[in-house]
Amino acid sequence: MTGVFVVDEVLEERKRRMELLSLWIKVPAWWMMLSGLFALGLYANAIYYDDLTVVVVFGWSYKGTALALEPLLITSFWIAQSISAYAVVRGRTLGRLTGLIFAYLYLAIKLGSEFFTPGFDIDIFDILLAIYICKLHKLKSDW
């Protein structure tokens, strides 16, 4: 009988965490989840049709076969980021931590690549990501 109470407590805790999430966290998290799914679909399509793959991310570009290491690493990063965003949206225990880790990792790669590529560009996703990081930090004590 105690197992039922433990499950109820876990579900209540998860529901409480999900209620903490504001729209400024949910929108970028859903964007990350959909982009990871989209990246996986494009990568699978490129492998299946053995087509020329062009990957442009963080200001870097790759053009070649889909079976190379670069497209695999980029797609793996996007898939891991979408799993992390799912953990945030569903209120998992480590969701906030993994969300912050991937957000900071993306931000570090993005800002680091600005020093090695000509020009300076800011996407709408970068602005959403900054708000996402600030809002996740505000949840630190309540999560």
* pLDDT tens over the chain, length 143 residues: 555 666 777 778 778 777 777 777 788 888 888 888 888 888 888 888 887 888 777 666 788 888 888 888 888 888 888 888 888 888 777 777 888 888 888 888 777 777 776 776 777 777 777 887 887 888 776 66
Alpha-carbon span 113 to 4, nearest angstrom: 50
Q: Is the pTM of this model over 0.75?
A: no
Instruction: Write the pLDDT tens digit of every residue in 68-106.
Output: 888 888 888 888 888 888 888 887 777 778 888 888 888
- The set of residues, in sequence order, having a beta carbon less than 8 Å from that of 62 and lying 6+ positions away, is 53, 54, 55, 56, 68, 70, 71, 74
Tell me what pLDDT residue 2 has.
Answer: 57
